[in-house]
Chains A and B, each alone.
Chain A
Amino acid sequence: MRRYLVKLPRIMVIILIAGITFGGLSSCQSKKKLAKEKAAAAYNTKVQQAKKDLTAMLNGTTDWTLDQQFKRLDTIKSYNIDEQDVKDLIVKVENKLKVEKAQAERKAEEERLRKAEAAKKKAEQAKFNVINERFATIAHAGSYAEADNMINQTLNIFVTPDVPVLIIIDQVDGVNDYDRPTTASRFLNYLKDIKAYNYAVESVKRNAEGKITELELIKK
């Protein structure tokens, strides 16, 4: 009995060490399991979010800009998600974004060309400011005498009072649609009668002396 009592502390120490060793081990194993489950849950969330975002981009229901969509797509691709439906979505979204990018670039180019054309036209119009101002003055003359005086002065810039005046009413596919052609004299008197100048000079043909031989106007 005494022998056992002497050995008791040693036995208790052994039990304690064994308890710590096995207890710690089992706790470590459950932590690892927990971490693994957490990682799996995080991955699953990431995959679900990726699918959701890809579907939204494919259906055009996101309010992200094209750049933001490309960025998000790159991020999703960097996840290397090994699921066929995600891979398929990535291919579809990539194609859609490429088409949209091409369209946006084409639209931007068209806008640039349109602005360049408008600027060119404005510069050309500036050349005709003097003529436009003369016509507007006739239209807004205060009396018949004043208008007639302006008409006589303005007719001097034409070769003859019968110079053709063409009025573009519309431009469709690069083709001009005209009103019935008139003459310089009749057009200037028309401005006097109607008391409005709602046109802009589109083009002018001149002879060697600089006098107008043909005038083309466009309706504003």
Chain B
Amino acid sequence: MKNITYSVLFLLGILFVLPATAQEQLNPKRKQAIDSLALEKVRDLSKYITIIGSKDTPWSEANRVIDRAEELFMQGSEIGVSSLLRPQIAYYGVRKYFERLMRLNYSKVEIQWYKIDYVSDLQRQPDGTYVGVITVFQKFKGYNKEGNLVYQDTTKKDITVYVKRKETQIGGRMIGFWDVLLGDMRVKETQK
């Protein structure tokens, strides 16, 4: 009898939960647009990192770009830094990471990101936030003042992305927008 009661309650529970789950399903076209938007934010970050790291970028420009790059991240996020010269991975706050990147002790720095893609698709969380993981490969090259390549590595990094539907008032009307924020950027592997 007890088992039957539990079964009925379970089925009733499913009946309540199913419609809500269906409503939360994103239209595939919309889902694709959000996926692309999150990927684009990571591509933007890759451009910002190249600009910040480049010794050709004027100091004022690099600082402006650091501000823009910082805005891509959630507060409190950390970025991992690895090196072939040491086994441990150091994690820095976003601002500190960019400031270190700007001041790297090379005469010329080349940073290139490639193979930017989802390693884990955006999944809806109970609070309505969509969370996914994007993986990137970073090729780093550092040159000395003679123009010789003195250090290079390729690092695979995983970036957590958070996408949430938000609303804001503009020109007296409510605008619904998708806010994409990047979370921690974890080093997965580093190779020469």
Q: Indicate whether A190 reaches chain B with its CB closer than 8 angstroms.
A: yes
Q: Are B177 and A177 in contact, CB atoms less than 8 angstroms apart? A: yes
Contact of A180 among B33, B58, B65, B180 (CB under 8 A): B180
Q: Are A214 and B68 in contact, CB atoms less than 8 angstroms apart? A: no
With A164-B170, A164-B171, A170-B33 in contact, is A181–B47 under 8 Å at CB?
A: no
Q: Are B170 and A214 in contact, CB atoms less than 8 angstroms apart? A: yes
Q: Are B27 and A172 in contact, CB atoms less than 8 angstroms apart? A: yes
Contact with A along B63-90 (1 / 0, CB 8 A): 0110010000000000000000000000
Residues from chain A with Cβ under 8 Å of B68 in the complex: 186, 189-190, 193
How far is it, in angstroms, between the C-alpha of A50 and the C-alpha of B29 when the chains are bound?
46
Q: Indicate whether B134 reaches chain A with its CB closer than 8 angstroms.
A: no
Q: Are B44 and A180 in contact, CB atoms less than 8 angstroms apart? A: no
Q: Are A193 and B171 in contact, CB atoms less than 8 angstroms apart? A: no
Q: Are A169 and B37 in contact, CB atoms less than 8 angstroms apart? A: yes
Q: Indicate whether A144 reaches chain B with its CB closer than 8 angstroms.
A: yes
| Chain B stretch 120-154: residues in CB contact (< 8 A) with chain A | none
Contact of B170 among A144, A177, A181 (CB under 8 A): A181
With A166-B170, A193-B51 in contact, is A179–B64 under 8 Å at CB?
A: no
Residues from chain B with Cβ under 8 Å of A144 in the complex: 58, 61
Contact of B178 among A173, A179, A195 (CB under 8 A): A179
Contact of A172 among B30, B64, B171, B175 (CB under 8 A): B30
Total contacting residues, chain B, CB less than 8 A: 27
Contact with B along A160-200 (1 / 0, CB 8 A): 00001010011011010111110000100110011100000
How far is it, in angstroms, between the C-alpha of A52 and the C-alpha of B166 when the chains are bound?
61
| Chain A stretch 205-220: residues in CB contact (< 8 A) with chain B | 205, 213-214
CB distance from B63 to the nearest CB of A (A): 12
CB distance from A178 to the nearest CB of B (A): 4
Between A164, A179, A213, A214, the greatest number of chain B beta carbons within 10 A of the residue's beta carbon is seen for A179
Q: Indicate whether B48 reaches chain A with its CB closer than 8 angstroms.
A: yes
Q: Indicate whether B19 reaches chain A with its CB closer than 8 angstroms.
A: no
Residues from chain A with Cβ under 8 Å of B58 in the complex: 144
Q: Are A166 and B175 in contact, CB atoms less than 8 angstroms apart? A: yes
Chain B interface residues toward A at CB < 8 A: 27, 29-30, 32-34, 36-37, 44, 47-48, 51, 58, 61, 64-65, 68, 166, 168, 170-171, 175-180
Interface of B is mostly: helix
Interface of A is mostly: strand
Q: Are A170 and B29 in contact, CB atoms less than 8 angstroms apart? A: yes
Q: Are B29 and A178 in contact, CB atoms less than 8 angstroms apart? A: no
With A178-B177, A193-B47, A194-B47 in contact, is A205–B30 under 8 Å at CB?
A: no
Q: Are B171 and A214 in contact, CB atoms less than 8 angstroms apart? A: yes
CB distance from B92 to the nearest CB of A (A): 22
12 more A-B residue pairs beyond the given contacts A180-B179, A181-B177, A214-B171, with a C-beta to C-beta distance below 8 A:
A164-B170, A169-B33, A169-B34, A169-B37, A172-B29, A177-B176, A178-B178, A180-B166, A180-B180, A181-B168, A190-B44, A194-B47
Q: Are A178 and B65 in contact, CB atoms less than 8 angstroms apart? A: no
CB distance from B39 to the nearest CB of A (A): 12
Residues from chain A with Cβ under 8 Å of B27 in the complex: 172-173
Residues from chain A with Cβ under 8 Å of B61 in the complex: 144
Residues from chain A with Cβ under 8 Å of B64 in the complex: 189
Between A175, A186, A190, A193, the greatest number of chain B beta carbons within 10 A of the residue's beta carbon is seen for A193
How far is it, in angstroms, between the C-alpha of A181 and the C-alpha of B170 when the chains are bound?
9
CB distance from B170 to the nearest CB of A (A): 5
Please give me the residue from chain B that is nearest to A195 by CB atom: B47
CB distance from A148 to the nearest CB of B (A): 9
Residues from chain A with Cβ under 8 Å of B29 in the complex: 170, 172
